[in-house]
Structure formats: C-alpha cells, structure tokens
A and B are shown apart, each in its own frame.
Chain A
Amino acid sequence: MTTTIVLQVAVGGLLMGLIYALVAAGLSLIFGLMDVVNFAHGELLMLAMYATFIIWFVTGLDPLLLLLPVALALFALGVAIYHLLMARALSVRFNRGMVQIFVTFGLAILLRGAAQFTFGSDFQSIGTSWLANRTFDLGGVFIPVPQLAAGIVSLLAFGALFAIGRTEFGRALEATREDRDAVALIGIDRDRIFAFGWGLGAAAVGIAGVMLAIFYYVSPNVGANFALIAYVTVALGGFGSLLGALVAGILIGLVEALTALLIEPSLKQVGMFAIYLAVLMFRPRGLFGTM
C-alpha cells in the first residue's frame, strides 16, 4: 500500500467528514438551544435531497443554484416543526424528555412514509450537474470535484453559523440556551428564538442535503444512516458545541475512510463508533462539551 492510496482515501474521508459535520451542526444547534435530540434529523436531510432532486429533474437547474432556495425551504420547515410540534412537546408536564424523543421519532416515520408515498422507494440520483463526475489531479491524488465543493460549502456554512453566533441575535440564542426562563425578563421572546433555532438547524441540514444530492443517491431511507452518524458526531464533539461538531465530523470521516482501507470496508462504521466510545470513556461530555 502506497502513501498515495492512503492520502487518496484520507482526502475522501476528510471531505465526507465535512458533510457529516454540517449535518451534525444542525442537530447540535437544536440540541444546544432546547435540550432536544431531533430524531427526525435524517429525514430533514432526506427531504432536502429530494427537493434538490425534484427541482433538478423538473427544471434542469444546476443543483448548485438550489442551495439558497432549498436552505430557505428547510428553514421554513424547521420553524413549522417547532410551532406545530415542539412547542407543544416542550410544554407537557410528564416525561418531557421521552415525549420529545418519541414525537421526533414519530415525525421521522411520518416523513419517511410521506416520501415513499410521493417519490416511491426507488433509488434516484442526479445525472448531470456542472460539478458531476469531475476530478482533478493533485500530485497523484485524485480529488473528486463534487465532494470538494461540498466540503468548501460546508466550511462556508460553518463560517456563517459562527458569524451568526457573534451577532446580537446569536447572543440572544446563547442567553436562551443558558437560562430559558431568565431571558424572558430581559425582553427576549423565547418562542421566537426557539423557532429560529429550529429553522437555522434545518437550514444547515438543507445545505448539506443539496451538496450531498450531487454525488449521493436519494431514497426515503437515506437519512437514517446519516442521522446515526450525526448523533455520534454531536455526542463526540459535545452536545451544543459548534466547533465540536466540526472537529468530530472531520475525525469521524477520516476514521471511517481509514478503517475501510486498512481493516475491512464492511466494518468502516465500527471503526468510527469505537473511536467515539473510546473518547467518551475519557471525556464523558465529548471533546468540547460543557453541558
């Protein structure tokens, strides 16, 4: 095995890791704000991928042009999910934690069924894109352009999320997260912040979904696997930590790719799960977690 092969695989893992990180960022944002693990997160990703696929199929527009519209659509969906379901789940008096888990789980099943109803259960993929099937050669290491673009877009999205964190709104978000009752006293509308947090989290997944749709198949069940990886990423990085999601996503992408190369392709996920458990033994709140 040559260095080139290892490098080749590592680059692939790194780029995939950036996508994992972006999916996890949305989950982490919602968790950090409301202490809710969204079990329908993978289904949001699936919907974003389908939206991209359908618009491309009907209009032939390049998926890259769909980044903004799909992100906005997912934002609206996130806000709607908050107002229709999560606001209610937050106000129940019994078993609040479990109600949240199972409401989002029910939503996941519902969305999966809805996707199957609308699009059928066949695998679909986008055939043409300005980016599709291009690679460029970097000293013997071939870099796939769609994945590279996805990685760059993911980093830009992280930049935007960090920037939002520095605005007045971001500070309100942080304050709500620290003490959701006290913020009402200083004139912050908690409901609006929560809704915006859900919107932002869903939009992050939306961007990941568009980029993923360029080089990955779409099916009603595609979200499940990415969601599992996102949970692991968020727990590894630390719930509620944006930086944690980024670092953990990259780490998990690398470990997955290298396990596939060095140990056994069908066990690639075992490698990343094992790393996660090992880290959790020493840092029970993840790499950057404080909660």
Chain B
Amino acid sequence: MQTSITRRRRLELLIGAVLLVALALLPLPIHDVYTRNLIIITVLFAGLAQAWNILGGYCGQISLSHALYFGAGAYVSTLLLTRAGLPPTIGMFAGGALGGLMALLVGWPCFRLSGHYYAIATVVVGEIFFLLALNWDWIGGATGINIPYSRAIGDSWLWLQFRIDKLPYHYAALAFAAVAWLVAWLIEGSRWGFVWRAVKDDPIAARSLAVRVFPSKMAAAAISGALTGIGGAIYAQYVGYIDPDSVLHGQLSILIPLPAVLGGVGTLWGPLVGAGVLIPLSELTRSYLGGSGRGVDLMIYGGLIILVALARPQGLASLIGVRVRAPAGADDARAA
C-alpha cells in the first residue's frame, strides 16, 4: 500500500541518485582547469546552501553566521593537519563537530531572540569571531595558514591532497553535497521535519501543541553547523590556503544562504538549483567582466539577485515544477 507521499519521496530519491551519477560523470569529458574548478565550487556551494537550508529553510531561523561554522571546520582540520599531523579525513569530522558545537553556542543565546533581532545577533557573533581570528597569531592571524603539499605522502585520499589532478576534490565536494541533500531528504520525511516546520510557521502555536521549540531550533542548528563545518574542511584542503577573510568573513554568511534563498528556501531542490544558476553566473561575470576591476561584475551580480528575488520570490526551483507552500497570510514578513 503506497500513499502519494511515499511515492513522491521515492521518486525524489530516484531523481537524486540519477543526478548524483550525472554529476559524477560531468567533469570527465572536461579537461579545462577553469571549468572543473567552477563545477567543484558550484557543487560545494550546493552542499553548503543545503546545510544552511536545514536551519534557515526548514526551521525558519534566518542565520547569518554560517561563515563561522564554515571557518571553524576549515581551521580545525587545517590546524590538526599542520600542528598535529592528523589527516584531514579525520580532521574533517573534528571540524564538523566544532561547527555543530559553535552553532549550539551561537544558538543558545540567540534563539531567545526573534525576527530581525535574531538575524542581526548572528551577524554580530560571526563578526566577533572573525575579529578574534584576525588577531589570534597562533592560528595564523591575518596572514592565514598555508597547507603545504607533502611530497613524502604524495597524492592520497586519506590526506585529501592531490597535486595536479583536481578531480578527486570534485568527488569529495559531491559526496559532501550528496550527504547534505540526503540529510535534508531524511528530515523532510521525519517527525523532526514536521516539528521544525511548525516552529517556522508559528512558534507560539507550535508550543501550545507541546512542541519543544528551543530544543528543536538547537537540533536544527547543530546539524546545519556540523555539515557546514565539514564543507569548510573540504574547501580548505581544496584551496590549500585559509585566512579569516576567505573562510570567516561576514560576506560568506550571506553567500552561503543566497543559493538556497534564490533557489527556493525550505525545499529539497532549491539550494541545488540556486547554486547551479547563481555560482556559475557569479564566477563567469567575475572572470569575463571583473578583470578590469571596474565593478561591472558586481553591478550585474547585484542586479541579478534583485531580479530573481523579485521575479521568483518562491525560488527558481518553482520553474522546474517544485511546489512551494504559500505562507499562512502576511505573517511571513515577521518570521524573517
């Protein structure tokens, strides 16, 4: 006996699997370094946006401090590698653990706040850690940390280092995005997913139905932060160099949710579609128009964000038939 919901969820899983195979094969015929890098960054951001979507989309908490969890993951795995000689495949999980822990640490005071107070408070917490990292010499301060390629070890999956061929990083990023997607898929069908959406739509009504609002937000934050931290660790290994500006900056806290918001917030496919459209667009405008340093790329990118947000407020994913629930009345403005 199948209900339409279980059938739909099976179909989603099937589409996800097909997409995964397609994305795994995608870079094989492409040998141009620039395009491969573009694909890797896009896939990574699809995963990051999905990770944000778990807290910001399903649970409705507009967190603007995800750079902090991303940076925590990047710094922990990098420091474990350079200071303790631990392979990043292990450091990655330590980074994820710290990312989740930081999200709990930020959530504990901030989830008492609502609406704009919450959003601004998360910006400020992120900024505090950014400034502290800039001034903390032990973790490299403003100069950052270089991740050297170890010749003794050579190309290795355990150490997540590849000298010439960047293809393995594509698979690392893809695995990460697939896990983030799968977590979101599991949440959608689980009791937690329903509880979180209740918290998002109306926390007071949810509470009256014995939903434990605060623990629900904390759980969403921990999962979201942990995934983001793992993404940060993979990014650090891929780029080979981290500093506060590249992994902790407040701008990143907006760039991470951006694909989810423009693609379709609180949906399974939104972050994926958003990243697939937005990241290539921003990279291409930057490389073709940004070279002059005259800001044309910024103007186009900013204009596109405005256009998409106004023309498709329910997200780009709605164009390919993803259904987005209409909010209950005008109360949605207050929730953000």
Contacts and interface: CB of A to CB of B under 8 A. Distances in A.
Interface of A: 31, 35, 37, 85, 88-89, 92-103, 105-117, 120-121, 220, 228, 231-232, 234-235, 239, 264, 266-267, 269-270, 273-274, 276-277, 280-281, 284-286
B254 A113 contact: no
Nearest to A105: B254
B29 interface: no
Interface of B: 62, 109, 112-117, 119-121, 123-125, 127-128, 131-132, 134-135, 250, 254, 258, 261-262, 265, 293-306, 309-310, 313-315, 324, 326-327, 330, 332-336
Contacts of A284: 112-114, 117
A93 B250 CA distance: 29
A264 B132 CA distance: 11
B298 A35 contact: no
Contact of B298 (A109, A266, A277): A109
B310 A89 contact: yes
B309 A228 contact: no
A95 B327 contact: yes
B113 A280 contact: yes
Given A96-B313, A112-B298, A115-B295, A103 B121 contact: no
Provide the main secondary structure of the chain A interface: helix
Contacts of A103: 305-306, 309-310
Contacts of A264: 135
Contacts of A220: 295
Contacts of A96: 313, 327, 330, 332-333, 336
Nearest to B251: A224
Contact of B310 (A88, A98, A266, A274): A88
B134 A266 contact: yes
Given A37-B119, A94-B314, A113-B297, A101 B302 contact: no
For the complex of A and B, 8 pairs with smallest distance between CB atoms: A97-B336, A113-B298, A116-B295, A110-B302, A106-B305, A109-B302, A113-B295, A113-B299
A100 to B, nearest CB: 7
Contacts of B262: 102
Contacts of A117: 294-296, 299
A232 B303 contact: no
B134 A110 contact: no
B281 to A, nearest CB: 13
